[in-house]
Amino acid sequence: MFPRSTVCRGAQSAVRRSAVHPAQRRGLAAPASGSFQYQSGDAKGVKFASRDFAGPTTTLALVSKAGTRYQPLPGLTEGLAAFAFRNTERRSTLRIVRESELLGAEVRAYHTRENLVLEAKFLRDDLPYYVELLGEVASQSKFDQYVYKEEVLPLIIAAHKRFLANPAEMAVNSAHSLAFHRGLGNPTASASSVPYTQYLNAEAIEYFSKIAYAKSNFAVVANGAEHGEFSQWVNQFFDGVPAAPIEQTGVGAEQTKYFGGEERIAHAGGNAVVLAFPGSSSFTGKSYKPEVAVLGSLLGGQSNVKWSPGFSILGNTKASPSTYVKTTSAIYSDAGLLYTSIVGSAQNVAKSAYAVVDAIKKVAAGEISKEQFAKAKAAAKFKELENGQDTKAGIELTGSGLVNNNQAYQIDEVAKAIDGVSEEAVKKAAASLLENKATVSSVGDLFVLPFADELGLKV
Amino acid sequence: MSAPSLAPFILKRPWLQKFVSPLAKWYVNAAGYRQLGLRADDLIPEENNTVQLALKRLPPKEAYDRVFRLRRAFQLSVAHQLLPKAEWTKPEEDTPYLTEAIQTVEAEMKEREDLEAMVITKRQRIAKVAH
C-alpha cells in the first residue's frame, strides 16, 4: 500500500503475527471482557493504561502534562499542539495525513489547561501503526521555522481571533485567571497577539517538546485495546523519547492556590457572566470533594430532558428559556473550580446572575426537597459514569491521573464516592461558597451587567 | 530549480575531482558573477512557484543579503563596472544557500504527486475477512 521505505516494521510484523494466529483476532461479536477499569502498566519508564472495550475501533492517546498550566512561555502549548503530526524525521506531514486517511483513521491534537493530548481513533487492527506514530511524533518531530510560519502560526492566530469573538470563553478564562492567577489561570488561547509576536518560534517550541515528551511527563492511554498486546507495542516504539525533561522548569508545579476577585471586560459581541467558586480536584488529586459535583448538578441550568426546564434550580429560575446557563465543576489535578456561566442578552444575563446567588443561598439554607437532592445525585453520578464511557473525557482524566498521581482514573470508585454524598455535606459546601471569596467576571455590556457586591458576593 | 548536475558523481571520485576542479575554477571565474559580488545561487531563475516558495523560507538575514547582492550587481552592470577585487565573492562564500530549500520544496511536490498517483490495494487478510 505504501512505498516500502516507509512501511513501519511494527505494522508489518503485526500483520504477520495475526496472520499466523487468526484465532486470536477479536471479531465484532466478541463478548465484552472489561469493565470501566483501566489496567495500567509501565514499559521502560513509559506509563500506559488500557481497557479492552468490545468493539471494532480503538482510541489511543498520548496525554502529556504540558497544558497551558505548565508552559514556561505563553503560547507554547498551543504551538506544540499545532506542531503535532507534522514533519518528522521519517515522514512528512502529507504522508502522515494520507496514510491515516487510507487506514480510515482520525488523528488530532488538542490541549486543555493541564494536558496536551495527541489522539488517534482507528480500526483495532491498526494499533501498532498508531503506537508507532505517536512514538514518532513524540521523539522525532522536526520543528522547522518555515513550517511554523506557514502552517502553525495561522492556526494560532485563528484561535486567537476565535477567542476574542467569544465572550463566554473570555469570561471563563478571565474567571480562571482571577481564581488561580498563574498556572491554572493561564488562558487556553492567546488572549492577545503578544505570545506569538514576542515569545513563540520553532526553537522555543522544540525546547518545550523536550519537556512535554519526556517519559516522566506523559502517559499513553488506549481504549479498546488488548492490554498485553498494547504493552508490547508501547515497549517497542517509545525508545526514542528522552527519559527526563531537558530542564526542570518547575513551572506550574506548585500547589494551586485559590485567590478570587472580579474582572469586567467591555465587549460588543455578546454578554457573559461567570460566577466561580473553589471546587473539587479530580478523584486522583488530594482535595477531592464529591459533594461539589452534586452541588453543581443541583444548581445545573441545563436540562437533560427535552421540552422541559429540567429539575435543576437554575433551569427553573433563569431569566428566560433562551438564556444559556450552565454549572460546571471543572476538576484539575490539584484544585477545581465550580462555575456557572451565563450567556444571553444583557438584561437576562444580569437577572440570571442574581438567580444563581439566590439558588446557592437556598441550598445553603437547606430549602431543597429530598427529591431534588436525589435527582441531583443521580444526575451527577450519571455524568461521572458517562465520563467513563465517553472515551474522550475518560482518556484525558486517566492519562493525567497516571502522570500526576500514578493512578488511573477509576470511574467505578468515583461513582461510589458520589453515592456516599449526604445532604448535609452539600449544604455545607454551598454555605462555604458564600463565606469565601468568589470570582466574578463579566464580559459584554458593562452598563447592565451587575457587580459582585450588587449580587451579594464577597470578592 | 535545481538543474541536473554531474557534480555529485564527480565529487564521489577524488581522482576525477582532482582532474576536473581546475577546469571548474576557470569556468566559475570566466562566468563573471563573482566579480559582481554574486553567489551562484543568486543566478537561479526565480520566476516560478518552487523558487518563490523556497525564497520565502529563507531566514530574514539571508533574504536581506540576497537582495543587497542583487541590487549591487544590477547597479554595477548598469554602470559597466566590476567590484574592486577585494570585494569579489570569495570561493568559500559562494555557498548553495538556496539549493537546499529548493530541493525540499521539490521533494514535497514530488511526494504529493506520487501520493496522488498511488494505486490502493486492500491488505490480503482484511480483504478475505470482509467479503
Q: Give the minimum alpha-carbon distance from A19 to chain B in angstroms, rounded to a whole number.
A: 7
Nearest CA in chain B to A22: B125
Mark yes or no for CB contact B123/A95 under 8 Å.
no
Picking from B56, B59, B115, the nearest residue to A94 by CB comes out as B115
Q: Which domains does chain A have, with CATH numbers?
A: 39-237 (3.30.830.10), 261-455 (3.30.830.10)
CB-based contacts of A109: which residues, under 8 Å, 6+ apart? A81, A82, A84, A85, A116, A117, A118, A119
Q: Kindly list the distances between the CA atom of residue A407 and the CA atoms of A134, A333, A419, in Å, as whole numbers in the listed order.
A: 22, 12, 21
CA distance A36 to A384: 12
Q: Give the minimum alpha-carbon distance from A182 to chain B in angstroms, rounded to a whole number.
A: 34
pLDDT digits (tens, 9 = 90+) for A75-134: 999 999 999 999 999 999 999 999 999 999 999 999 999 999 999 999 999 999 999 999
Q: What percent of chain B lies above the pLDDT cut of 70?
A: 92
CA distance A69 to A67: 5
Handedness of CA B5, B6, B9, B13 (dihedral sign): negative
Nearest CA in chain B to A102: B120
pLDDT at A215 over 50: yes
Using the Cβ of B13 and the Cβ atoms of chain A, whether some distance falls under 8 Å is answered with no
Q: Cα torsion for A200, A205, A208, A213, to the nearest 10°?
A: 150
From chain A, the residues in CB contact with B127 under 8 A are none
Which range of A138-152, A240-254, A401-415 scores highest in mean pLDDT? It is A138-152
The pLDDT value recorded for residue B118 is 85
pLDDT class for A25, splitting at 50, 70, 90? very low
Nearest CA in chain B to A11: B123
Mark yes or no for CB contact A1/B59 under 8 Å.
no
For residues A71-87, one letter each, b for 16 or more C-beta atoms within 10 angstroms of the residue's C-beta and e for the rest, the string is bebbbbbbbbbbbbbbb
Mark yes or no for CB contact A94/B112 under 8 Å.
yes
For residues A387-408, one letter each, b for 16 or more C-beta atoms within 10 angstroms of the residue's C-beta and e for the rest, the string is bbeebebbbbbbbbbbbbbeeb
Q: Give the minimum alpha-carbon distance from B38 to chain A in angstroms, rounded to a whole number.
A: 25
CB-based contacts of A201: which residues, under 8 Å, 6+ apart? A145, A148
Mark yes or no for CB contact B56/A1 under 8 Å.
no
Chain A 83-112, CB below 8 Å of chain B: which residues? 92, 94-95, 98, 102
Chain B 85-124, CB below 8 Å of chain A: which residues? 108, 111-112, 114-115, 120-121, 123
Which of A279, A294, A258, A255 has the alpha carbon at shortest distance from A414?
A294
Mark yes or no for CB contact A98/B115 under 8 Å.
yes
Picking from B56, B111, B123, the nearest residue to A92 by CB comes out as B111
pLDDT at B80 over 90: yes
The pLDDT value recorded for residue A70 is 92
Using the Cβ of A145 and the Cβ atoms of chain B, whether some distance falls under 8 Å is answered with yes
Q: Give the minimum alpha-carbon distance from B97 to chain A in angstroms, rounded to a whole number.
A: 15
DSSP bridge partners of A46: A43
Q: Is this prediction's ipTM beyond 0.90?
A: no
Mark yes or no for CB contact B56/A146 under 8 Å.
yes
Which three-class secondary structure string do you get for chain A? CCCHHHCCHHHHHHHHHHHHCHHHCCCCCCCCCCCCCCEEEEECCEEEEEECCCCCEEEEEEEECCCHHHCCCCCHHHHHHHHCCCCECCCCHHHHHHHHHHCCCEEEEEECCCCEEEEEEEEHHHHHHHHHHHHHHHHHECCCHHHHHHHHHHHHHHHHHHHHCCHHHHHHHHHHHHHHCCHHHCCCCCCCCHHHHHHCCHHHHHHHHHHHCCHHHEEEEEECCCHHHHHHHHHHHCCCCCCCCCCCCCCCCCCCCCCCEEEEEECCCCEEEEEEEECCCCCCCCCCCHHHHHHHHHHCCCCCCCCCCCCCHHHHHCCCCCCEEEEEEEECCCCEEEEEEEEECHHHHHHHHHHHHHHHHHHHHCCCCHHHHHHHHHHHHHHHHHHHHCHHHHHHHHHHHHHHHCCCCCHHHHHHHHHCCCHHHHHHHHHHHHHCCCEEEEEECCCCCCCHHHHCCCC
Chain A 201-230, CB below 8 Å of chain B: which residues? none
Using the Cβ of B125 and the Cβ atoms of chain A, whether some distance falls under 8 Å is answered with yes
Nearest CA in chain A to B109: A94
State residue A324 phi and psi, 5-degree precision.
Answer: -90, 120
The pLDDT value recorded for residue A386 is 80
Angle at A52 between CA A46 and CA A57, to 5 degrees: 100
Query: Quick check: helix, strand or coil at residue B47?
Result: coil
Are A238 and A42 a contacting pair, CB within 8 Å?
no
Mark yes or no for CB contact A19/B125 under 8 Å.
yes
Look at B102 and A22; give whichever has higher pLDDT.
B102
Look at A135 and A411; give whichever has higher pLDDT.
A135
CA distance A329 to A296: 6
CA distance B95 to B104: 17
Q: Residue A89 CB: number of other CB atoms within 10 A?
A: 10
Three cell numbers at B54? 523556497
Mark yes or no for CB contact A1/B115 under 8 Å.
no
From chain A, the residues in CB contact with B111 under 8 A are 92, 94-95
The pLDDT value recorded for residue A26 is 46
Domain ranges of chain B: 32-106
pLDDT at A209 over 50: yes
Chain pair A-B, CB pairs under 8 angstroms: 24
Query: Quick check: helix, strand or coil at residue B70?
Result: helix
Q: What percent of chain A lies above the pLDDT cut of 70?
A: 92
Q: Considering only A177-191, A303-317, A379-393, B99-113, which range has the smallest mean pLDDT?
A: A379-393
Nearest CA in chain B to A150: B57
pTM of the model: 0.85
Pick the CATH number of B32-106 from 3.90.1200.10, 3.30.70.100, 3.10.580.10, 1.10.1090.10: 1.10.1090.10
Mark yes or no for CB contact A1/B120 under 8 Å.
yes
pLDDT digits (tens, 9 = 90+) for A376-433: 999 988 888 887 677 777 788 888 888 877 777 777 777 888 888 888 999 999 999 9
pLDDT at A32 over 50: no
Picking from A1, A15, A92, the nearest residue to B121 by CB comes out as A1
From chain B, the residues in CB contact with A102 under 8 A are 120
pLDDT class for A251, splitting at 50, 70, 90? confident
CA distance A25 to B128: 14
pLDDT digits (tens, 9 = 90+) for A177-195: 999 998 899 999 888 888 8
